[in-house]
Protein backbone atom coordinates (compact mmCIF):
# COMPACT_ATOMS: atom_id res chain seq x y z
CA UNK A 1 0.00 0.00 0.00
CA UNK A 2 2.68 2.52 0.95
CA UNK A 3 4.68 1.57 -2.15
CA UNK A 4 1.61 2.22 -4.31
CA UNK A 5 1.10 5.58 -2.63
CA UNK A 6 4.69 6.76 -3.02
CA UNK A 7 4.77 5.47 -6.59
CA UNK A 8 1.60 7.39 -7.50
CA UNK A 9 3.05 10.58 -6.05
CA UNK A 10 6.46 10.08 -7.71
CA UNK A 11 4.95 9.28 -11.12
CA UNK A 12 2.77 12.36 -10.80
CA UNK A 13 5.73 14.63 -10.00
CA UNK A 14 7.79 13.20 -12.87
CA UNK A 15 4.86 13.43 -15.30
CA UNK A 16 4.20 17.01 -14.22
CA UNK A 17 7.86 17.96 -14.50
CA UNK A 18 8.41 16.40 -17.92
CA UNK A 19 5.14 17.78 -19.27
CA UNK A 20 3.74 14.28 -19.89
CA UNK A 21 0.38 15.20 -18.38
CA UNK A 22 -2.04 16.01 -21.23
CA UNK A 23 -2.81 19.71 -21.60
CA UNK A 24 -6.51 19.10 -21.03
CA UNK A 25 -5.81 17.41 -17.67
CA UNK A 26 -3.21 20.01 -16.72
CA UNK A 27 -5.61 22.90 -17.38
CA UNK A 28 -8.30 21.36 -15.18
CA UNK A 29 -6.07 19.84 -12.51
CA UNK A 30 -7.64 21.84 -9.67
CA UNK A 31 -11.11 20.72 -10.72
CA UNK A 32 -9.99 17.09 -11.07
CA UNK A 33 -8.34 17.09 -7.63
CA UNK A 34 -11.52 18.49 -6.10
CA UNK A 35 -13.60 15.93 -7.97
CA UNK A 36 -11.40 13.04 -6.78
CA UNK A 37 -11.55 14.41 -3.23
CA UNK A 38 -15.33 14.65 -3.22
CA UNK A 39 -15.62 11.10 -4.52
CA UNK A 40 -13.20 9.89 -1.85
CA UNK A 41 -14.96 11.70 0.97
CA UNK A 42 -18.25 10.29 -0.23
CA UNK A 43 -16.70 6.79 -0.05
CA UNK A 44 -15.32 7.47 3.43
CA UNK A 45 -18.74 8.79 4.45
CA UNK A 46 -20.32 5.54 3.28
CA UNK A 47 -17.92 3.57 5.49
CA UNK A 48 -18.60 5.82 8.48
CA UNK A 49 -22.36 5.70 8.05
CA UNK A 50 -22.38 1.96 7.42
CA UNK A 51 -20.47 1.27 10.63
CA UNK A 52 -22.45 2.60 13.56
CA UNK A 53 -19.63 1.82 15.99
CA UNK A 54 -17.73 4.81 14.55
CA UNK A 55 -20.42 7.28 15.52
CA UNK A 56 -20.50 5.75 19.00
CA UNK A 57 -16.72 6.08 19.36
CA UNK A 58 -16.90 9.80 18.59
CA UNK A 59 -19.69 10.10 21.13
CA UNK A 60 -17.67 8.26 23.75
CA UNK A 61 -14.69 10.61 23.24
CA UNK A 62 -16.81 13.58 24.22
CA UNK A 63 -14.90 16.80 24.93
CA UNK A 64 -11.59 14.95 24.51
CA UNK A 65 -12.03 15.12 20.73
CA UNK A 66 -11.16 18.86 20.81
CA UNK A 67 -7.90 18.21 22.71
CA UNK A 68 -6.31 16.45 19.72
CA UNK A 69 -6.24 19.47 17.33
CA UNK A 70 -5.23 21.79 20.18
CA UNK A 71 -2.12 19.79 21.14
CA UNK A 72 -1.25 19.31 17.46
CA UNK A 73 -1.41 23.10 17.02
CA UNK A 74 0.86 23.59 20.04
CA UNK A 75 3.28 20.85 18.96
CA UNK A 76 3.54 22.17 15.38
CA UNK A 77 4.29 25.71 16.54
CA UNK A 78 6.77 24.49 19.17
CA UNK A 79 8.60 22.50 16.48
CA UNK A 80 8.96 25.41 14.04
CA UNK A 81 9.89 27.76 16.90
CA UNK A 82 12.80 25.48 17.77
CA UNK A 83 14.04 25.25 14.16
CA UNK A 84 13.54 29.01 13.69
CA UNK A 85 15.62 29.75 16.78
CA UNK A 86 18.40 27.50 15.48
CA UNK A 87 18.27 29.31 12.12
CA UNK A 88 18.34 32.71 13.83
CA UNK A 89 14.83 33.78 12.81
CA UNK A 90 12.47 35.95 14.87
CA UNK A 91 10.17 33.84 17.12
CA UNK A 92 6.99 35.35 15.65
CA UNK A 93 8.07 34.52 12.10
CA UNK A 94 8.93 30.89 12.81
CA UNK A 95 5.79 30.38 14.92
CA UNK A 96 3.61 31.80 12.12
CA UNK A 97 5.17 29.38 9.62
CA UNK A 98 4.22 26.46 11.88
CA UNK A 99 0.68 27.82 12.30
CA UNK A 100 0.05 27.13 8.60
CA UNK A 101 -0.60 23.50 9.69
CA UNK A 102 -0.10 22.29 6.11
CA UNK A 103 -2.59 24.69 4.51
CA UNK A 104 0.02 26.12 2.18
CA UNK A 105 -2.10 28.35 -0.02
CA UNK A 106 -3.65 30.30 2.84
CA UNK A 107 -0.58 30.56 5.09
CA UNK A 108 1.62 31.57 2.14
CA UNK A 109 -0.73 34.30 0.99
CA UNK A 110 -1.37 35.58 4.52
CA UNK A 111 2.31 35.92 5.36
CA UNK A 112 3.17 37.42 1.97
CA UNK A 113 0.57 40.11 2.61
CA UNK A 114 1.11 40.66 6.35
CA UNK A 115 4.90 40.37 6.45
CA UNK A 116 7.01 39.87 3.33
CA UNK A 117 7.08 37.92 0.09
CA UNK A 118 10.10 35.98 1.39
CA UNK A 119 8.35 34.76 4.53
CA UNK A 120 5.25 33.99 2.47
CA UNK A 121 7.34 31.84 0.13
CA UNK A 122 8.98 30.02 3.03
CA UNK A 123 5.59 29.38 4.68
CA UNK A 124 4.20 28.16 1.35
CA UNK A 125 7.06 25.72 0.78
CA UNK A 126 7.12 24.58 4.40
CA UNK A 127 3.46 23.72 4.29
CA UNK A 128 3.69 22.05 0.86
CA UNK A 129 6.49 19.98 2.41
CA UNK A 130 4.36 19.22 5.45
CA UNK A 131 1.59 17.86 3.24
CA UNK A 132 3.99 15.81 1.09
CA UNK A 133 6.00 14.50 4.06
CA UNK A 134 2.76 13.60 5.84
CA UNK A 135 1.78 11.41 2.90
CA UNK A 136 5.09 9.59 3.30
CA UNK A 137 5.13 9.49 7.13
CA UNK A 138 1.50 8.68 8.03
CA UNK A 139 1.96 4.93 7.39
CA UNK A 140 5.09 4.87 9.58
CA UNK A 141 3.57 6.95 12.38
CA UNK A 142 0.44 4.78 12.28
CA UNK A 143 2.52 1.65 12.74
CA UNK A 144 4.90 2.86 15.43
CA UNK A 145 3.01 5.59 17.32
CA UNK A 146 -0.63 4.53 17.04
CA UNK A 147 -3.87 5.81 15.49
CA UNK A 148 -4.15 9.17 17.29
CA UNK A 149 -0.53 10.12 16.58
CA UNK A 150 -1.12 9.20 12.91
CA UNK A 151 -3.63 12.04 12.67
CA UNK A 152 -1.04 14.63 13.81
CA UNK A 153 1.32 14.98 10.80
CA UNK A 154 -1.42 15.98 8.34
CA UNK A 155 -2.45 19.05 10.36
CA UNK A 156 -5.23 20.97 8.64
CA UNK A 157 -5.15 18.56 5.68
CA UNK A 158 -6.70 15.68 7.66
CA UNK A 159 -10.14 16.93 6.65
CA UNK A 160 -9.41 16.41 2.95
CA UNK A 161 -6.14 15.44 1.27
CA UNK A 162 -4.67 13.15 3.95
CA UNK A 163 -8.00 11.82 5.31
CA UNK A 164 -8.15 8.89 2.85
CA UNK A 165 -4.60 7.90 3.85
CA UNK A 166 -5.39 7.97 7.56
CA UNK A 167 -8.46 5.82 6.94
CA UNK A 168 -6.39 3.36 4.88
CA UNK A 169 -3.71 2.98 7.55
CA UNK A 170 -5.54 3.19 10.88
CA UNK A 171 -9.06 2.24 9.83
CA UNK A 172 -12.31 4.06 9.26
CA UNK A 173 -13.06 4.35 12.99
CA UNK A 174 -10.63 7.30 13.08
CA UNK A 175 -12.25 9.03 10.09
CA UNK A 176 -14.52 11.40 12.00
CA UNK A 177 -11.87 12.19 14.60
CA UNK A 178 -9.42 13.04 11.80
CA UNK A 179 -11.97 15.11 9.90
CA UNK A 180 -12.85 17.14 12.97
CA UNK A 181 -9.14 17.58 13.73
CA UNK A 182 -8.54 19.01 10.25
CA UNK A 183 -11.59 21.25 10.51
CA UNK A 184 -10.45 22.83 13.80
CA UNK A 185 -6.88 23.35 12.57
CA UNK A 186 -8.13 24.87 9.30
CA UNK A 187 -10.21 27.33 11.30
CA UNK A 188 -7.17 28.20 13.44
CA UNK A 189 -4.88 29.09 10.49
CA UNK A 190 -6.44 32.47 9.60
CA UNK A 191 -6.64 33.34 13.32
CA UNK A 192 -3.19 32.26 14.54
CA UNK A 193 -1.00 33.28 11.58
CA UNK A 194 -1.83 37.04 11.84
CA UNK A 195 -1.67 36.89 15.65
CA UNK A 196 1.76 35.27 15.79
CA UNK A 197 3.69 37.07 13.07
Partner 1 sequence: MGLIFVALLAGIAMGYLRLLPDRLFQLTGKLTTAGVMLLLFLMGGQIGSDEEILAGLGQIGVQAVLFALAAIIGSVLAVKALEAMVPLKPAEEERGRGV
Which residues in the 20-49 window bind partner 1 by CB under 8 A?
21, 25-26, 29, 32-34, 36-49
Q: Which of 111, 135, 193, 196 binds partner 1 (CB under 8 A)?
A: 135
Closest of 155, 156, 150, 121 to residue 137, by C-alpha: 150
Find the binder of partner 1 among 110, 115, 124, 184 (CB under 8 A): 124
Q: Which residues neighbour 48 within 8 Å (Cβ) at sequence distance 6 or greater?
A: 54, 55, 172, 175, 176
Shortest separation between residue 193's beta carbon and partner 1, angstroms: 13
Q: How far is the CB of 36 from partner 1 (least distance, A)?
A: 5
Please, which residue, 27 or 195, has the CB nearer to partner 1?
Answer: 27
85 makes contact with partner 1 (CB under 8 A): no
Q: According to CB under 8 A, which residues from 44 to 83 bind partner 1?
A: 44-53, 57, 60-61, 64, 67-68, 71-72, 74-80, 82-83
State in angstroms the smallest separation of the CB of 184 from partner 1.
13
Over the window 156 to 195, marking each residue x when it contacts partner 1 by CB under 8 A and - when it does not, the resulting string is ---xxx--xx-xx----------x------x---------
Q: Which of 3, 4, 24, 88 binds partner 1 (CB under 8 A)?
A: 4
Amino acid sequence: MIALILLSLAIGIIAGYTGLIPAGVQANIDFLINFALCLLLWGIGLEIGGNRQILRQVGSMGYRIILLPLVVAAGSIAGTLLVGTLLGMAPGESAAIGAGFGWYSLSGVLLAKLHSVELGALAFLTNVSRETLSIILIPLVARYAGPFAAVAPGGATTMDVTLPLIVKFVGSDMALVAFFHGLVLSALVPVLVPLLV
